Amino acid sequence: MKSPHANRRLQALSTLDGLGQIDDSLLAAALKDAHPAVRRHAIWLSEPRLLQEAVQLRLLKMAVPPDPDAQVRLQLACTLGQWRDPRAGAALAEMLVHDASDPYLVAAVMSAAETHVQWILPGVIRHGANPTRHLPLVKELLPAALAAEEEAVLAETLNELTSRVGEEGRLWRWKVLQRLLKELDRQGESVGDWSRASGEDLQAAIPKLGPLFDAARQSAPDPSRSTEERVLAVALLGHGLKKQTSDFQRLRDLLTLDTIVEVQLAVIDRLAD
């Protein structure tokens, strides 16, 4: 394993594995090898040892911050997906956000979503910010979370969505919320229906969406806000647990010549729902 040639180090690692002679120190060194092919193979060799804490910590260190090589990250995602643990799920979420444009890594993480969605989805909401790159991930994960009917997963997702207040990241949180509302609508449910059918944890989390709806009520009629923000705010009005009647009056009040066309069209679409 001390050869200056990566192919020889890789061959030695494979031979020692076949002989059952790989010990902890050798595997640790291989995971830090300068060549990505050696690191990738060492990750694969770590899979039978996933219950060992030392191996877990080494793999997590390779995930966050992410390894510079895409193939190493792909193997790491596949390996972490076999370890059902909150730390693995959190690491997979960060890897997913980092490599959202890599279809192979996205597929690898999504294959683990069935057993890790309770950690991956909140993590994507926490670390995501780019709607173009990250909203498709939420779109794919939300149905899995709702279908699982695990209220702890959904409660944690809402808690993460509402954990930050203020304008920073507001559009991102609104777009995630809009995606959630569309999923509920697809299932024939409103936020109120969802709350009434839920258990204690989820019933406690759903009202926390209130400030997001309140911010939308302020932004929709505000001409100083961007067109994108106002259109998105309009789409949220009337969906909250409270103030639905006044929300629809706000929408009707926006149908005036003083309101820009894009917002008026959004209002018409919302009223037609």
pLDDT tens per residue across span 51-94:
899 999 999 999 988 899 999 999 999 999 999 999 999 999 99
Q: What is the pLDDT of residue 208?
A: 93
Query: Are 216 and 254 a contacting pair, CB within 8 Å?
Result: no
Q: What is the pLDDT of residue 16?
A: 73
Q: What is the pLDDT of residue 272?
A: 92
Q: What is the pLDDT of residue 128?
A: 82
Residues 6+ apart with CB under 8 A from 234: 216, 220, 251, 254, 263, 266, 267, 270
Point out the residues of the chain with pLDDT beneath 70. Answer: 1-5, 17, 148-149, 165-167
Q: What is the pLDDT of residue 17?
A: 66
Q: What is the pLDDT of residue 57?
A: 93
Q: What is the pLDDT of residue 215?
A: 94
Q: What is the pLDDT of residue 166?
A: 66
CA distance linking residue 126 with residue 24, whole number of Å = 34
CA distance linking residue 218 with residue 236, whole number of Å = 12
Q: What is the pLDDT of residue 7?
A: 74
**Which of 137-161 are b and which e, b meaning 16 or more Cβ less than 10 Å from the residue's Cβ?**
bbeebbebbbebeeeebbbbbbebb
- Give the closest residue to 158 by CA, choosing from 210, 110, 219, 218: 210
Instruction: Count Cβ atoms below 10 Å from residue 103 Cβ, excluding itself.
Output: 9
Query: Are 81 and 89 a contacting pair, CB within 8 Å?
Result: no
Check: pTM over 0.85? Answer yes or no. Answer: no
Helices then strands, counting H and E runs in the chain, come out as 17, 0
Phi and psi at 160, nearest 5°, equal -70, -40
Radius of gyration of the chain (CA): 23
Q: What is the pLDDT of residue 96?
A: 93
Residue 168: exposed, middle, or buried by beta-carbon count in 10 A (0-12, 13-18, 19+)? exposed
Q: What is the pLDDT of residue 24?
A: 83
CA-based torsion, 80, 81, 83, 89: positive or negative: positive
